[in-house]
Structure 1
Amino acid sequence: MTHRFPDLPIFAGFDAPGRTEADIFDLEFDGEVPIALDGTFFRVAPDQQFAPKFGTDIFFNGDGLVCAFRFKEGRVHFRSRYARTERFLAERDAGKALFGAYRNPFTDDPSVVGKVRGTANTNVVVHGGRLLALKEDSPPTAMDPHSLETTKSVFRFDGGLTSETFTAHPKIDPTTGEMISINYEANGLATADFTYCVIDKEGRVTRELWLKAPYPAMIHDIGVTENYVIIPVMPLTADIERLKAGKPHFTYRPDLDQVYGVLPREGEASDLRWFHVSHGLQGHAINAFDEGGKVYLDIGVTDGNVFSFFPEADGRVQDVRTVRGGPVRWTFDMKTNATPQCRPLAEFGGEFPHVDDRYATRAYRHGYAGSMDPSAPYDFERCGPPTANFFLNTVMHIDTASGTMKKWSPGPTSAVQEPVFAPRSADAPEGDGYILVLVSRLLENRTDLVVLDAQHIEEGPLATIRLPIRLRSGLHGNWVPAIAMKADASRSSCIAAGVRAEDGVHEG
């Protein structure tokens, strides 16, 4: 019997699963790859290895396909490997999908009951000598950052992580090297419990504080400052009875406030303060910082639901074209009980933001994001409808000090993915460096990696690195300088030598 992917937009055209692990040495390019770029750009995408169990699915339920672009001496090499999660290994062994609906174990094949369902498909970070492939419903999958070989299918930081989940968006303090995470549904499906975790630069959990949210809901991203953690609780709620009835994991609740928790990094549960403001759906955090007793969070917020696959309880789905929003700055005065203040950062609908990571958790000036710019031309006649999973056509640069913006679009037959910042050097001024952005060539059905000058993105590519294959639309990634990889090389080599991914599931 032949198993085929369903004839649905999310599995068609440029969005068709790529299902390709590859090594491509010395990629072709136009222009000049800056010699200053010495490091690796990692990214991950949901990319199902098998057709879905029930004949339909959502984009967020695909297996994590990790890609690495290694920059060295003006040349670029490419590698891609699947994260060998428990789920991936079980299905590879069976030769078919065994896990059912997104984050709903009640829909799984009986043979996989009790296995970790995570797909490691949302983000990849290097920390403590490991490449961590992340999905917020499960512990990380650990991989060797050089070979991309999976070293631990389920990694619990050598027993330091007791939560059932881990975030997809940890924040790394550039001064201390600590990695900080907020892990929701920590005590099981649809629970309001979450944990605040601190992991030192060696990869050891030094703190795991258990906390309670106002209700079970998604906490997708966070803000971290030198002294505080900001916790946006989204109006996407979970309910165990709905899951048992086969309903989607999350329900959009337009009747709920935006809720933000603010916790001192050295605080206890009793120090957590909750702030309620008018309804909105929080997106990804751009950055956060604190000064003079005030905490600032820059984050994308919309006035409605952008996720059609998480409808309201009655099944109602808002037309995404009516949703409005953009990046805003929230100000929390920790000396008073005043309502947080909000102001727009820019007049554009941007997502997938990045900053110069050397300024993460601190006051900063330069931010970058993808955007759907309605003024940028799109060739509907030749390209057909925009890609179903998400469509961005512009890279934006915002100067938060002046409020000015610059932008670059790749043309009417292309789309962009998440833009990532790479500094020119370790001691370069903030924002002095490059933007790396994957460009989907819709007519050619393949992908380029474009390098832009981060201060002059409007001038177009310094280099266009040509992949002979197509990379499905990804979610998140990060730039890791070579010096950071070298510092971790001996440890990660030992990890890789100790176990092979094909050996099965490895706990840590």
Structure 2
Amino acid sequence: MDRFPIPEDPFDAPMRLEADITDLECVQGEVPAHLDGTYYRVVVDRHYPSFVDNDLALFNSDGMAMSFTFHKGRVDFKSRYVRTPRFVAEEKAGKSLFGAYHNALTDDPSVAGVRRGLANTNIFFHGGRLYASKEDSPPILLDPVTLETLGEYDFQGALTSETSTAHPKIDPRTGEMVFFGYAAKGEATPDIAYYEADPNGQIIHETWIRAPYSCMIHDFAVTQNYVVFPIVPLRSSIEWLEKGNPQFFWDPNEDVHLGVLPRKGTDKDLRWFRGSNRFASHIMGAYDDGRYLHLDSPVAETNYFPWFPDLSGAPYNPDRSKTRLTRWTIDLSGESETFTERRLMDAAGEFPRMDDRQETLDYNWGVMAINDHPEQHKTGGGFRWVGAVDLSSGRTKYYDPGENSTVGEPIFVPGNDTAGPGAGYVFVVVARRDHMHSELVILDAQHIDRPPVATLKLPMRLKSGLHGNWVGADEIAGRTA
């Protein structure tokens, strides 16, 4: 096979390693013995080198599922490729067959009609099932203990959309899973399919809407009474794809639109609110009080992604592309079709998370990966710190992993079954780039600026990952698939 291109940083080279490691070495502190469950995460790790020039390896690589299983102070690690239809086809051929990101027109003819999904974006648990997902296809079910791939899942035929989000939301009061698919009728279409599934994972509501234009809708917001679809001008079009491009481009002349739909509503209930051109992707949290709907997201003045070109030809602007946690507020009681904006954090960063037990509800605590630290007055390559914000006071505390280290997405893990909101731990995978290995660091969620509770060392590096979640042992024991 062709060689993998040599990355600028060898730490980011493909691993292609499926591993089992029992009893990870704790090199600092002590693992809380009462933690009983599994931290699942997924990373991007190409199985075969791409035949596309300047391929988007961060997005267009195979998904590698990973688990850190905690029990009585011991932590075991496992990693397995997610064997998507795409992975299986390439493994059989012994080479890469799929071309540019989100562009089937560049694929080898032998895989026409084969699903292109990579299941490389998120891994989550609901209704007794463990899902690996990417937003361009249906999810893949995995065995929650072995990480064996069980196959694509279309909710027993109830998923009529061609796609399904990698960012579903679980309502903590009802146990329902709220999710959607964008480009639901195929690449570059403006159609959105909206679903709710009951606590057992059976779809109980479906409705379809159309966005003002076709674009990436990576995440969305859910409150007790509404869902919000952020339509941000990272756009797509069939004409763009036909020129051999990856799917998305930035349109600096298009506005942001927020589509607000009542939970279990239909397209007739949809309202649109409009704001000036800006970028947003991930949602930290959202809630409503009956009149005002608040949505918190890292927001930038312009395109965040340097690899998606500006339609105007403008060069990438690293300062204007910095995302800072911002609250968008919609007054649902009036006739205004706009929304207001207020910054919540000075630090620039991404991968916002909250205490998931507060999803859809009013909340005061959140955590992010930070790449621009306002107090140290320096910017690191990649995400260099973790920041935890108290939204009631506006104060942010930081965890600094040290020089030549970067962090992945931080997640919250409750301290115990009765712990209050934000009381528990922050888990974050740290890349020790000088030493070519990774660590799982456990922080006190309320005091992340203090020394870690525990640091677990892996004997190898882990590839860059996107998202993951903690699942308690009792949930895993009740698995149905």
TM-score by length of 1: 0.91
More helix by share: 1
In the TM superposition, 1:490-505 aligns within 5 A as 491-492=480-481
2:342 partner letter: R
Which of these residues, 22, 27, 31, is aligned with residue 25 of structure 1?
22
Q: Is the 8 A contact 1:44 1:474 kept in 2?
A: yes
Amino acid at match of 1:407: Y
Q: Equivalent residue for 2:310?
A: 312
Residue 393 (structure 1) aligned with residue 390 (structure 2): no
Q: What SS does the corresponding residue of 1:285 show, helix, strand or coil?
A: coil
Name the counterpart of 1:495.
Answer: none
Tell me how far apart the structure 1 counterparts of residues 321 and 356 of structure 2 sit (CA, whole Å): 30
The alpha carbon displacement at 1:316 in A equals 4.0
Distance 2:249 2:92 in 1: 34
Residue 69 of structure 1 deviates from its aligned partner by 0.3
Q: Quick one: distance in 2 between partners of 1:19 and 1:440? A: 17
CA distance in 1, matches of 2:126, 2:323: 33
Amino acid at match of 2:476: M
Kindly indicate whether residue 139 of structure 2 is the aligned counterpart of residue 137 of structure 1.
no
Query: For residues 41-440 of structure 1, what are the structure 2 equivalents within 5 Å?
Result: 41-58=39-56, 59-152=58-151, 154-313=152-311, 315-338=313-336, 339-374=338-373, 386=381, 391-440=382-431
Give the aligned length: 478
- Report the AA paired with residue 466 of structure 1: K
Indicate whether 1:449 and 2:437 are aligned.
no
In the alignment, the residues of structure 1 paired with residue 358 and residue 328 of structure 2 have an alpha-carbon distance, to the nearest angstrom, of 18
- The SS at the match of 1:182 is strand
Rounded Cα–Cα distance in structure 1 between residues aligned with 2:456 and 2:2: 35
Residues of 2 paired with 1:194 and 1:322: CA distance? 29
Query: For the Cα contact (< 8 Å) 1:259–1:277, is it kept in 2?
Result: yes
**Superposed displacement of residue 44, structure 1:** 0.6
Does residue 458 of the first structure (1) align with residue 455 of the second (2)? no
1: CA distance, partners of 2:225 / 2:167: 18
Matches of 1:134 and 1:229, distance apart in 2: 20
Map residues 461-476 of structure 1 onto 2, 5 A cutoff: 461-476=452-467
Q: Which runs of 5+ in 2 are unaligned?
A: none
Q: Secondary structure at the match of 1:309?
A: coil
The one-letter code matched in structure 1 to 2:147 is L
Distance 2:404 2:51 in 1: 33
Q: Give 1:364 shift.
A: 0.6
Deviation at 1:155, TM superposition (A): 1.3
Q: Is the 8 A contact 1:296 1:329 kept in 2?
A: yes
Asked if the contact 1:68/1:80 (under 8 Å) is kept, the reply is: yes
Take 2:297 and 2:52, find their aligned partners in 1: how far apart are those partners?
A: 36
1:350, distance to aligned residue in structure 2 (A): 2.0
Structure 1: gaps of 5 or more residues: 493-508
Aligned-partner SS, 1:451: strand
* CA-CA distance at 1:200 after TM superposition: 1.4
CA distance in 2 between counterparts of 1:366 and 1:21 reads 35
Secondary structure, in 3 states, of the residue corresponding to 2:297? strand
Runs ≥4 in structure 1, deviation > 6 angstroms? 375-380
Confirm or deny: 8 A CA contact 1:174 1:359 kept in the other structure. Answer: yes
- 1:305 and 1:320 in contact (8 A); partners too: no
- % identical equivalent positions: 47
Change (3 A) 1:84 1:241: same
Closer/same/farther in 2, CA of residues 378 and 67 from structure 1, 3 Å limit: farther
List per-residue Cα deviations over 1:201-228 (Å, max 9, x = no partner): 1111112211100011111111101110
One-letter amino acid of the counterpart of residue 328, structure 1:
T
Q: How far apart are the structure 1 equivalents of 2:67 and 2:101?
A: 26
Structure 2 contact 207–265 (Cα < 8 Å) conserved: no
The corresponding residue for 1:503 is: none
Give the Å deviation of 1:379: 12
* Distance 1:116-1:456 versus aligned 2 partners, 3 A rule: same
Q: Deviations over 1:361-393 (max 9, x none)?
A: 10111100110134688999xxxx94xxxx101
Asked if the contact 2:64/2:82 (under 8 Å) is kept, the reply is: yes
User: Distance between the aligned counterparts of 1:374 and 1:71, measured in 2?
Assistant: 32
1:500 corresponds to: none
- RMSD (Å), alpha carbons: 1.7
Rounded to whole Å, the distance in 1 between the matches of 2:6 and 2:402 is: 28
8 Å contact 1:376–1:412 — kept in the other structure?
Answer: no
1:209–1:268: 8 Å Cα contact kept in structure 2?
yes
Amino acid at match of 2:395: T
User: Aligned-pair distance for 1:475?
Assistant: 0.5
CA distance in 1, matches of 2:424, 2:312: 48
3-state SS, counterpart of residue 243 of structure 1: helix
Structure 2 counterpart SS, 1:41: strand
Secondary structure of 2:367 counterpart = strand
CA contact (8 A) 2:234 2:303 kept: no
Helix, strand or coil at the partner of 1:457? coil
Q: 1:379 to 1:314 in 2, by over 3 A?
A: closer
> What is the SS of the residue equivalent to 1:101?
coil
Report SS of the residue matched to 1:461. coil
Q: CA deviation at 1:461?
A: 0.8
The 2-side partners of 1:470 and 1:101 are apart by 27
The alignment status of 1:38 with 2:29, answered yes or no, reads no
Q: Deviations over 1:388-418 (max 9, x none)?
A: xxx1010101001111111111001211111
Shift of 1:334: 1.1
Q: Shift of residue 487 of structure 1?
A: 2.4
For residues 408-440 of structure 1, the C-alpha deviation after alignment (integer angstroms, 9 at most, x for no partner) is: 110012111110100011111111100000000
Residue 279 of structure 1 deviates from its aligned partner by 1.3
Structure-2 separation of matches of 1:293 and 1:55: 50
Q: Residues 327 and 37 from structure 1, CA distance in 2 versus in 1: closer, same or farther, beyond 3 angstroms?
A: same
The answer to whether the Cα contact below 8 Å between 1:6 and 1:56 also exists between their aligned partners in 2 is no
Alpha-carbon separation, structure 1, partners of 2:465 and 2:375: 22
Displacement of 1:36 after TM fit?
2.6
Residue 378 of structure 1 contacts residue 412 of structure 1 at CA under 8 Å; is this kept in 2? no
